[in-house]
Amino acid sequence: MIKEAGKIALDYFNRRDELIIETKTDPQDVVSIADQNVERIIRDLTREKFPDDGYLGEEHGQEKGSNDYLWVIDPIDGTACFLTGMYAWCISVALMKGDKIVAGFVYDPNTDELFSALTGNNAHLNGKKIETQNVNSVTQGVMGLGTSHRIPPSQLLPFLDNLLSAGGMFIRNGSCALMMSYVASGRLIGYYEPHINPWDCLAGIILIEEAGGWSSPFLENEGLTQGNPILSSASGVANDLQKMAGLA
């Protein structure tokens, strides 16, 4: 399902000059006809196999089902990168049962990399088991960061100062789901964003936890409907990063 949607998204990417672009409340938060159609395709393909499930998507909102399962969809995470021809974008799909994340899938059509995780079944990249980095200091790897204009800069800057002061380093590529997948696969040591929406991070959370890492309790305090901070990392640096983020 996600790979089929990925082929369509990649076709849109290769024809991005033709797309209709809209701006949301945040001038840097944009949506294209590609986002809207790819989400619709994911819902339609999923509904064929699981007609009783519910859906929550970035572009088409929530659709209640008749059971406890909820698909949470970000059709193109990293739309700004997508529209400007950069490759830092992906498709992110998570499955919840009640208040638990039970599956997560992040697909990068540009590299044909499919990150997947099921509860109790480890995390995989194209079918091969992956694990978070075996590190015990932020100096031993690179941290992923994200931010938006939904929050003031003052909510990110203390963490950034603490990280750099401790000898750490960071990147920001524009896609939360992709950077969290990199944490799960050992490419980054962690990811932090002071506020994020559920469709951006739920798949990443289960990927990281099934890969042996740690994630903050995102779903607490109405995280599914209101969003929350997200901090995820390799287990060996989780305590230090929580202190840096003021979450300890």
Q: 196, 128, 132, 188: which is closest to 163 by C-alpha?
A: 188
Decide: 132 and 186 in contact? Cβ < 8 Å: yes
58 is in an annotated binding site: yes
Distances (CA, A) of 137 to 18, 143, 160, 168, 184: 46, 11, 16, 8, 17
74 is in an annotated binding site: yes
77 is in an annotated binding site: yes
Decide: 243 and 217 in contact? Cβ < 8 Å: no
Question: Does residue 10 sit in helix, strand or coil?
Answer: helix
Query: Residue 32: beta bridge partners?
Result: 21
Query: Residue 69: beta bridge partners?
Result: 97
Distances (CA, A) of 232 to 31, 112, 229, 246: 27, 24, 10, 14
Environment class of 163 (CB within 10 Å of its CB; exposed 0-12, middle 13-18, buried 19+): buried
Known binding residues for Mg(2+) are 58, 74, 76-77, 200
Known binding residues are 58, 74, 76-77, 200
